[in-house]
Structures are given as structure tokens and as C-alpha cells.
Amino acid sequence: MEPFTSAAVEPAPPTADDQRDAPRPHVVLLASPGAGHLIPLAELARRLADHHGVAPTLVTFADLDNPDARSAVLSSLPASVATATLPAVPLDDLPADAGLERTLFEVVHRSLPHLRVLLQSIGSTAALVPDFFCAAALSVADEVGVPGYIFFPTSITALCFMRRTVELHDDFAAAGEQRALPDPLELPGGVSLRTAEFPEAFRDSTALVYGQLVETGRQYRGAAGCLANSFYELEPAAVEDSKKAAEKGTFPPAYPVGPFVRSSSDEPGESACLEWLDRQP
């Protein structure tokens, strides 16, 4: 394994206020490959720095990513957000038909030693925030003695979907046993999904990736909480359902901390959408 050098981290320069005040708590955020995962987590990092007195470091992977898109997102961040990219890991032993999800899980798992070295090089850290595909990183948070929070870039309802999947397997003692989700699957707020409407990786309970998703959902239970790119008014039933699960101790508390969107009101055609939205109740 290539050593992770401190030169890979780009710390934000201290300001006059930083020097006068006590050190800011350091939070490390880990984004799995893909702009849809990186952009909202980058926005969370920015808000933690700008509005909550946190010193964030946003960590990305070198694998499975569009480097130009990743660079564009990272370069848009203010100097108050540090960034780091984990070294690439070998993947040539995976079969050609491994699929995106399985490959992504392998990248995360094989990158854990690099993440451990990075956290040790940073020093005192208040929390680790891996996104929903990086739940394996919670084990590293345990090793270094910091709380881990899973970030969901989609919604609380998607988190409820994952919780239902995990709960379906709670009475399966043997490792590797997998049970198909009911058709239809009932979710909070009167949402009823048929199998054909599930995310593709959840449709075939015999597939390897389905088992990996079940195990990932089980790992969520080791988190101190889940942060979702949502807000109460958007999905109140899902928030209340998650609150009940947390009170029972069956799943970590879920916090709707969004929405994390970047303003695009200057784009052509955007004003018509906003004008229509402004007329809604």
C-alpha cells in the first residue's frame, strides 16, 4: 500500500478570527464516487465551515470517478474547506461483470487503510461523516475513537427503504441468507412501491450486490446518527417514522439537515421554474 502523505491534504489557511478563538472542531467527510454523492456532501462541508464553526476536510476517492467533474466541485469550495483524495487501489481482480455497486463497495473496503492513515495524520477529529455507500468506514471511526454519522444524499424515505431491508433480515441467523423485499413495499406517508420500482440493486434478492446492501444497512446501526439531504416539511411521515425507530433503539436517529442545493437561478429557463414554484401553496 502506498503511504498517505500529508501533502495530499490541502488545509485551509488560518484567519485572524481563528487565531483569536479556540480551535474549531475538525470533521472529516467521505464522499463515494459520483457527482450526485459529492455535490451535496461538499455543500454540507461548506455550511459546516461557514455557519457552524467547524473545520471540515472533504475526502474523495481516485477510483471510478470523473476527475474533471471532481476537480470542478472541489475547486468551487471556499478556502475554509480542506480536501484530500485517497490513493487508487487495485481492482484488476474483479470480474468484468462486477457491476458498479459491487465495484464501489470494493473500492471503499480496500481504501480503509488509506483512510485510517489520513485520520491519524490529521490528528484530533470530532467526527467522521461517510456517505451511504461508505458505511464500512464506520469501523475506522470506532478504531480512532470518534463518532460516525452516515450521510444520505437522497432522502429520509430512502433511508426508511434501507431500514426496511435490514429489518427484513433480522431473524436470519445464518450469514449470507437473503430474503426478497415484499411486493408491494409499504413506506411512510402512504408510499407503496412495486418491485419494478425499487432501485435496481434491490430487485434481485439472489444477487451478490443485494447481500452487500443488506450488510451495508446493518453497518448503519453502528452510526451515531444519519444525516439526510432533506427537510421535515418535504417528508414528515418518514421523519416521524425514523424518530420512532430511534426511540425503540432499532436504528440510529435520522436528522433532516438539507436541502443541500447550489443556487442556479442565473441559468436560462430557471426563472420560469421558480416563478411556478412560488405560486404553489
Q: What is the set of active-site residues? A: 37, 131
User: What is the rounded CA–CA span in Å between residue 65 and residue 26?
Assistant: 26
Strands (E), 111-261: 127-130, 149-152, 185-187, 191-193, 225-228, 254-256
**Using omega within 30 degrees of 0 as the cis cutoff, is the peptide bond preceding 113 cis?**
no
Rg (CA), the chain: 20
Strands 191-193 and 185-187: antiparallel
On whether the CB atoms of residues 112 and 137 are closer than 8 A, the answer is yes
What are residue 26's phi and psi, to 5 degrees?
A: -100, 125
